[in-house]
Amino acid sequence: MEGSAHYQAGDYEKALENFSQSDTADALYNRGNALTHLGRLQEANAAYDQALKKRPEQCRRT
């Protein structure tokens, strides 16, 4: 089962394990989402920051 399937099933620990196997911007973003659901907010923010460093164009100002 892939990380996104674990995530959709609500198994955030398993999703986190899967997303942690890659350091792509998407994996880091998904890692942040899983960490948020686990209440690990500082780690989630760090993952989101890393994702934005890899893909800064995803940060849009409104």
- In CATH, what number is assigned to the domain containing residue 9? 1.25.40.10
- Quick check: is 23 in a domain? yes
Q: Is residue 34 part of a domain?
A: yes
What's the DSSP call for residue 62?
-
Residue 28 lies in a domain: yes
* Confidence tier at 56 by pLDDT (50, 70, 90): confident
Residue 47 maps to a domain: yes
Half-sphere exposure of 1 (CA within 13 A, CB side): 15
In a domain, 48, yes or no: yes
Looking at the predicted structure, is the pLDDT value of residue 42 above 80?
Answer: yes
Global pTM? 0.88
**Residue range(s) defining the domain that contains residue 51:** 3-56
What's the average model confidence in pLDDT over 20-42?
96
- How many domains, the chain? 1
